[in-house]
């Protein structure tokens, strides 16, 4: 746009120079016409001596028909067009600045949306990564007890997300969804008695195992698929007056994981 303005100014100056040259040429032509008129008048006066002195002579009747080619209208038009061009240029600049502001605002919104989307994706993926497995770290027999004994599987094999507590033995659901749980048990059976227990969901018995033997070791297991809400708790409890045994082989385990969120 600045180059166009410069070009217009150069053209304007060139036009002014041309007009000045035309003006000088017109002045020369005017002088020649005057001289020619004077010579013609002198010749006619010599031929017509009796002419009335008070009458008009051809010299006085000579009309200057030369036209002064003024450049002022063209200059005004160029200046007017130049002013209109500058206004259009300013309007274009304002429009571009407004467009740039809108683009910057849109870019900020897109960046914010991308950040939010990344956070949601990270949260969602983190919620989907829910799984644990733990074993009883004891080389002895637990029980019998005269109450429902919560089993605490302290030897953690895997606990992604940290939603199983090796202190309390409870799994706490971090997200609403469908979960799978399984547990296994073992008892030496060396003394008269039996073994049994259940999987509990928020204090409600879900599935159980039971075994009885007076001379041989017994084992049991069970599993369940549960629909859990956020904050629901699941654990395994030993029945009253029952026993469970384990050693370094880790016969007794408690495992669970998220199948899919809801």
pLDDT digits (tens, 9 = 90+) for 149-171: 999 999 999 999 899 999 999 99
Q: Could you give the CA distance from residue 53 to residue 51 in angstroms, rounded to a whole number?
A: 6
Backbone angles phi, psi at 240, to 5 degrees: -65, 140
- Please name the residues in contact with 137: beta carbons below 8 A apart, sequence gap of 6 or more: 153, 154, 155, 246
Helix (H) / strand (E) element for 8: namely helix 2-47
Local confidence band at 44 (pLDDT 50, 70, 90 cut-offs): low
- SS3 category, 87: helix
* Mean pLDDT value of segment 190-218: 87
Q: What b/e string do you get for 52-76 counting C-beta neighbours within 10 Å, with b at 16 or more?
A: eeeeebeeeeeeeeeeeeebeeeee
Q: Could you give the CA distance from residue 258 to residue 183 in angstroms, rounded to a whole number?
A: 15
pLDDT digits (tens, 9 = 90+) for 45-86: 555 544 444 444 444 444 444 444 445 557 878 888 888 888
Range list of β-strands (E), the chain:
131-135, 141-142, 149-150, 155-160, 171-172, 177-187, 194-201, 204-212, 218-228, 233-238, 244-245, 253-261
Q: Could you give the CA distance from residue 222 to residue 198 in angstroms, rounded to a whole number?
A: 9
What pLDDT is recorded for position 59? 41
**The most confident of 3-12, 17-26, 37-46, 192-201, by mean pLDDT:** 192-201
What pLDDT is recorded for position 257? 96
CB-facing half-sphere around the CA of 237: CA atoms within 13 A: 19
Closest CA relative to residue 27, chosen from 61, 68, 70: 68
* Size (the chain), residues: 262
* Contact of 258 with 130, CB cutoff 8 Å: yes
Closest CA relative to residue 175, chosen from 220, 130, 114: 130
What pLDDT is recorded for position 163? 96
Local confidence band at 10 (pLDDT 50, 70, 90 cut-offs): low
Backbone angles phi, psi at 188, to 5 degrees: -65, -35
CATH 2.170.120.20 fits 129-261, yes or no: no
Asked whether residue 187 carries a pLDDT value surpassing 90, the answer given is no
Backbone angles phi, psi at 216, to 5 degrees: -120, 150
- Please name the residues in contact with 172: beta carbons below 8 A apart, sequence gap of 6 or more: 163, 164, 165, 231, 232, 233
pLDDT digits (tens, 9 = 90+) for 98-151: 999 999 999 999 999 998 888 877 766 666 789 999 999 778 888 888 999 999
Domain residue ranges of the chain, discontinuous segments joined by +: 80-128, 129-261
pLDDT digits (tens, 9 = 90+) for 11-30: 555 555 554 555 555 555 55
């Amino acid at each position: 746009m600045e180059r166009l303005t410069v070009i217009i100014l150069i053209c304007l100056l060139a036009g002014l120079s041309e007009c000045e040259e035309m003006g000088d040429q017109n002045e020369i032509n005017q002088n020649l016409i005057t001289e020619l008129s004077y010579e013609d008048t002198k010749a006619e006066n010599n031929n017509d001596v009796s002419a009335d002195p008070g009458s008009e002579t051809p010299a006085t009747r000579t009309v200057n028909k030369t036209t002064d080619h003024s450049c002022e209208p063209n200059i005004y038009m160029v200046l007017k067009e130049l002013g209109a061009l500058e206004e259009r240029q300013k309007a274009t600049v304002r429009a571009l600045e407004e467009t740039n502001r809108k683009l910057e605002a849109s870019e900020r919104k897109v960046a914010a949306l991308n950040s939010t989307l990344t956070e949601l994706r990270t949260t969602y993926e983190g919620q989907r990564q829910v799984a644990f497995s733990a074993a009883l770290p004891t080389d002895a027999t637990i029980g019998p007890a005269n109450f429902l004994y919560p089993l605490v599987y302290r030897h953690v094999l895997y606990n992604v997300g940290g939603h199983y507590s090796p202190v309390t033995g409870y799994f706490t659901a971090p997200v609403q969804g469908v979960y799978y749980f399984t547990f296994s048990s073992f008892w030496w059976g060396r003394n008269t008695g039996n073994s049994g227990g259940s999987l509990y969901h928020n204090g409600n018995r879900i599935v159980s195992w039971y075994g009885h033997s007076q001379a041989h070791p017994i084992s049991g297991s069970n599993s369940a698929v549960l629909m859990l809400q956020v904050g629901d708790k699941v654990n395994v409890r030993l029945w009253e007056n029952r026993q469970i045994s384990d050693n370094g082989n880790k016969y007794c385990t408690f495992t669970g994981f998220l199948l899919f969120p809801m």
